[in-house]
Amino acid sequence: MARTDYRVLSMEGRGLLMTMRLECWVNGELPSASPLLARLGFPIEQVERALAEVRPFFSIDSGAIRCPELDDYRAHLDERHQRQSEGGRAGAAKTNKVHNSPATGRPPGSLRLPRGSLVKQGPVQSNSDKSHQGKPSGDDWVSDYERQSNGR
């Protein structure tokens, strides 16, 4: 947007440029024929007028319009993704090597189990052992209901 080439475009040119760039990002290329470009949502007359303005932003090769700037950026992202993927595999291999080494006293591939729980366990009390403090529990309610149902 800071490029002079962009700032001097007409409104039609800017709209067509952005539409074409978005389409190139998603599909990689566009057809170079004006009637097919008009299917992007512009009248064919506007496309033909604005196409001359936006040509410096694109390359036209064998009937297809490509955006070299977006192609370069896509290649950069693919290369970055590839490096991250390789780094992740190398890190996983290093981690697996450390966890599966015989020096730990475990056979390779065995799971590492915790030695103890961090949660302090207290004595477990059932509902019947607890004091009700004047409030009936769900079990008391069920018992009362069954007693009354059987009494009828």
User: Domain locations in the chain?
Assistant: 4-66, 72-99
Q: Are 54 and 13 in contact (CB under 8 A)?
A: yes
Q: Which of 42, 49, 1, 2 is nearest to 19 (CA)?
A: 42
pLDDT string in tens for the chain (152-residue length): 667 888 889 888 998 899 999 999 999 998 888 788 888 888 888 888 888 889 899 998 888 999 999 999 999 999 999 999 888 888 888 888 877 766 555 565 666 666 666 666 666 655 555 555 555 566 777 777 777 777 65
The domain 4-66 is placed in CATH, from the list 1.10.10, 1.10.3470, 3.40.50, 1.10.12, at: 1.10.10
